[in-house]
A and B are shown apart, each in its own frame.
Chain A
């Protein structure tokens, strides 16, 4: 990754994190909640090469671990997002056309956000974190997936715009 891109990516991720913590978390969604931060990271990662993707996953996870309301160990989101972003960039993106269609982007982003939440819960449980009841966890995961599908026409174009702004003139 071009070093000049790193501050831009870091600041963008912090901006989205603040948006999530200060605004999105305040909204009462009808079913579950919505994590714009996760879908933003996933949609961005789908544009990147594997080595860049895992670095972005690492930065994103590191920032997500700062969430003050988080009860899981510091570093859990870093671990999960690093591994998952690498997996996305190599396996998922490698098996599809690199220029994903809007429908593919929507489906991959929504399903990936569900998988990420499941991984977070599962690894958290392995590390000894106590869990809510199954029905509440399912509502959160299904709700997040649903809102990721519904709001895809809003956040995917915005993410791609931010991604393109992060590229140097040579990379474009």
Chain B
């Protein structure tokens, strides 16, 4: 009786394992129904993720407020004073505002990239069981987003849209180990391949042996055909270390990204690059060094 039961259990185990292997095979053969199952799951999960964002935000705000309670009183006094000053300044600014609008129009004409974008909130991220580096945003195909679109933040490139449902999209971050990106060095236009390693460091492999590279060089995305998956000219990062090994055919370097992936709240998906390649127009300005004061001292001759 027990042997019969054990045999039945083993038969069931084998059947379940074979079913699992069958599912894996279907997925590896690229059956679209398998990927659409995950897209459907994302559509179903989006309302829950939005709800949790809605619920968690006041809690995290409250915790932050608790941390700043000690300094709150002096801060209130400081802000009240600042508020009064701002009211006075505001009266002056109303005149300046009209001038600024004109100035903005001129700047837009000379405009940098002229990307057509859709902005979205980050509502989730890949968990422990996922291992990969992804985020979920609250805009999907309903807003015109399709797979392989470039995602940017205020500082530069974030990643690329991996999959899309009607009201959400999954973005593979630049830091994902599967991420590969063609880049060019701003100014010299030398080209290379940037890859993530799952952490905060990125490796750059230059394509040409003649490429010159130095610390501080700015890297921009090289762009793809039809701007997918990468729109051209998006700031990616800055070279932080150049390897100088004699045995290497081409130069390798470490790159520091412009975007802090831990503090992503709002991102934009590039739908179209209206004006084509913006060249080096998007290179972030280096911070201005503080002016050095030089004092010349002329000794007075003793009489």
Instruction: Tell whether A pairs with B.
Output: yes
Asked if A79 and B20 sit within 8 Å, CB to CB, the answer is: yes
Chain B residue with Cβ nearest A21: B45
Given A51-B8, A55-B16, A82-B17, are A127 and B45 also a contact pair (CB < 8 Å)? no
List chain B residues, Cβ under 8 A from A72.
131
For B24, what are the chain A residues with a Cβ–Cβ distance below 8 Å?
73-76, 79, 127
Cross-chain contact A83 with B38 (CB below 8 angstroms)? no
Closest CB-CB distance, B33 to chain A, in whole Å?
10
Complex contact B23–A20 (CB within 8 A): no
A48 to B12, alpha carbons, bound, how many Å? Answer: 16
**B9 partner residues in chain A, CB cutoff 8 A:** 50-51, 54
Q: How many A-B residue pairs have CB under 8 A?
A: 161
Q: How far is the CA of A138 from the CA of B13 in the complex (A)?
A: 31
Given contacts A21-B48, A22-B52, A121-B131, contact A74 B178 (CB under 8 A): no
Asked whether any CB of chain B lies closer than 8 Å to the CB of A91, the reply is no
Query: Judging by beta carbons under 8 Å apart, are B20 and A18 in contact?
Result: no
Whether the Cβ atoms of B27 and A86 lie closer than 8 Å is no
Given contacts A68-B163, A75-B24, contact A33 B128 (CB under 8 A): yes
Q: Is the CB of B38 within 8 A of A74?
A: yes
Partner of A18, one of B21, B45, B199: B45
Q: Whole-angstrom distance from the CB of A66 to the nearest CB of chain B?
A: 4
Number of interface residues, chain A, beta carbon within 8 A: 56
Main DSSP-derived SS at the A contact region: helix
Q: Which of A68, A82, A140 contacts B128 (CB 8 A)?
A: A140
Give A120 Cβ to nearest chain B Cβ, in Å.
7
- Cβ < 8 Å to B, chain A residues 124-138: 124, 127, 130-133, 135-137
By the criterion CB–CB under 8 Å, are A66 and B177 in contact?
no
Residue B79 is within 8 A (CB to CB) of chain A in the complex: no
A75 and B128 contacting across the interface, CB-CB below 8 Å = no
B170 interface hit (Cβ, 8 Å): yes
As a 0/1 sequence over residues 47 to 58 of chain B, the CB contacts with chain A under 8 angstroms (1 = contact) are 011011100100
Is B21 a contact partner of A22 (Cβ separation < 8 A)? Answer: no
CB contact list, A17-46 vs B, under 8 A: 18, 20-28, 32-35, 37-38
* A35 → chain B closest CB, angstroms: 5
Query: Whole-angstrom distance from the CB of B55 to the nearest CB of chain A?
Result: 8
A109 within 8 A of B: no
In the complex, B250 has a CB within 8 A of chain A: no
Contact with A along B165-199 (1 / 0, CB 8 A): 00000100000011000000000000000000111
Q: How distant is the Cα of A28 from the Cα of B128 in the complex, in angstroms? A: 11
Given known contacts A18-B48, A127-B24, is B127 in contact with A67 (CB within 8 Å)?
Answer: yes
The reply to whether B16 and A82 form a contact with Cβ atoms under 8 Å apart is: yes
Taking beta carbons and an 8 Å cutoff, which residues of A are in contact with B? 18, 20-28, 32-35, 37-38, 50-51, 54-55, 58, 61, 64-79, 82-83, 86, 117, 120-121, 124, 127, 130-133, 135-137, 140, 143-144
Residues of chain B at the chain A interface (Cβ within 8 Å):
8-9, 12-13, 16-17, 19-28, 34-35, 37-39, 41-42, 45, 48-49, 51-53, 56, 124-134, 136, 163, 170, 177-178, 197-199, 262
The 29 listed contacts between A and B (C-beta, < 8 Å) are A21-B45, A21-B48, A21-B49, A21-B127, A22-B48, A22-B49, A22-B52, A22-B124, A26-B125, A27-B56, A33-B127, A54-B16, A55-B12, A58-B19, A65-B23, A68-B39, A68-B45, A69-B130, A70-B132, A71-B178, A75-B25, A76-B24, A79-B20, A117-B128, A131-B177, A132-B132, A132-B198, A135-B199, A136-B199
